[in-house]
Amino acid sequence: MAQNRNNTDQDLAGLIEYVAKSLVDDPTQVKVKERNSSNATVIELKVAQPDTGRIIGKGGRVANALRSLLRVAEAENRGRRIILKIQ
């Protein structure tokens, strides 16, 4: 079960990275880190300073859409929290 959870978390980090690289002007500066604890996974997304606005979006719409994708995966992982931090 733990192996399956880890693969799912990696897929989610890959999805966030793919979407972020599609949105920014400088995709080489996109970095995604993943940290796991007993009941949560934290995905940290770091982009170049000029691209931060593109990832957050007007009124936070893009960031909220990314978090919505993660909430769907969270439901499939039976309540294991998945947190997106944008830096």
The pLDDT tens digits for 1-32 are 455 555 666 688 999 999 999 999 999 999 99
Question: Average pLDDT for residues 65-81, to the nearest whole number?
Answer: 84
User: Which architecture characterizes domain 2-86 according to CATH?
Assistant: 2-Layer Sandwich (3.30)
Cα separation, 58 vs 41, whole angstroms: 26
How many angstroms separate the Cα of 66 from the Cα of each of 2, 16, 63, 72?
A: 24, 7, 5, 10
Under the banding of pLDDT at 50, 70 and 90, the label for residue 81 is confident
Cα separation, 11 vs 16, whole angstroms: 9
Mean pLDDT of the chain: 87
Paired residues of 36 in beta bridges: 41
Taking the model in full, what pTM does it have? 0.83
- Dihedral, 25, 16, 19, 87 alpha carbons, nearest 10: -30
